[in-house]
Structure 1
Amino acid sequence: MNCQCVNGGTCLTNGTCLCTNLYRGKFCQLNNPCIDYCRNNNTCSVICTDTSCNLPNCTCTNSYTGKQCETIVSGVCQSNPCIYGNCVTLTNESFQCECDFGFFGSRCELINSCLSNPCNQGTCIASSNCLDLRCSYSCLCPNGTTGQNCEIGGNPCLSTPCKNNGSCSLLSNTYSCQCILPYGGTNCDLIINVCTPNPCFNNGICVRSSNIKDGTYICNCQNGYVGTRCEYSK
């Protein structure tokens, strides 16, 4: 198996990468946004996919508040009543919560289900009908699309399925992604080996760049051959 982990990541037998604390992502190619983010020794958490990370979130102790736990609190904000937000003292006995992105409610305790953009090509409308802190939503679908999440019909390219700057083309009722090296796969979300199949002619040896994300390679030619791809005989 060809290991594609970078930045000191460890290749596991199931094909995944075990990243160091400094990196995240499918191939450990993303910087960990939690590094040095939360102040005053408070705890940082972040959700990452194979290709991107959300904004980090700080869990502050009772002594601190603020997006990065940078402010010492006192009075009514001492107990840190805003679950996912900052506490602002209005008077000695009242406060107001400024909620983090994706949360609302008097204590910033409710999760906006539209944050994950579930409506594909449509517009997500959050509801105040909430269960276990997560609120329901409805989708306003554009013309030609239906379904709970606007997933039926319409132009599938509008949901930008092709990652890493790949271009999307319509094919009847589906789509096709044209990927930019070194990315490949149905949605351009995989880093492929640019040396497979071997692009070098006349038994030349293909060597990938040490930075696998730039998609480049060089050909080491056998005796008697020259050229970028060993295509010419001396």
Structure 2
Amino acid sequence: MTGFLGITGPQAGRQELHHTEGGAGAHPRAQKGHSAARDAVKSAPRKNSTLQDIPSMTRFQALALSALIALLSACATPSGPQREAASPTQPARAPSGNLPKVDWSAERARITRTLSGASDLSVITRSDGYLQLLIPGAEAFARDGVEPRPSLKATLDRIATALNETQGTEILVIGHTDAAGSELHNMQLSIRRAESVVEYLRVRGIALTRLQADGRGETEPFADNGIEAGRAKNRRVEMIVRPFAR
């Protein structure tokens, strides 16, 4: 096969293709066709790339995206000054202005005189100046019971009468047990007994705001838990009487 410009073989087809793509030696008819196409492109009016050139569906999506961005920006912007988080509420206590003033030295001496001298109660002044009332508990409760027996109730009646004369003190009631049984059981039992004593004192007229209950279980023994006499001493109720903190 003889190609254009006398080139034969496969190279003829490639050379012909090269010239028909508008090279310097292109066929006059090919050059004329390309010139007409270039003139048509130059004469076509140019359009500005605006939102009107976007298809209707694309334009709707663009508007929706703009609205979404504006909404998110408004939500992220604080509408006013930010407040700091409130600090945790402190445990409620009686306002200091409502607490009666108490001369603790005189009050401690009065309570000691009133309650001392009985076999069912020991009154001790601690090293911190507070009063400690020790009530033997061997016969105060039934076995594993929390209801005060009549002997304990009589002692609590005397204590309530003495402590009701002045309202400026608080009373912490602490229950203790011996080591018989599990440690968890004894801890729970001591707390329940202390709560029972607090409730009895409340019924006898002492304001609940002055009373607190706690239990120590078998953790603070007075005597040897290996013998019955020691276990009997370890079963007890303790009260700490002190002036309100101001």
User: Structures share a fold, TM > 0.5?
Assistant: no
TM-score (norm 2): 0.19
Structure with more of its chain in strand, by fraction: 1
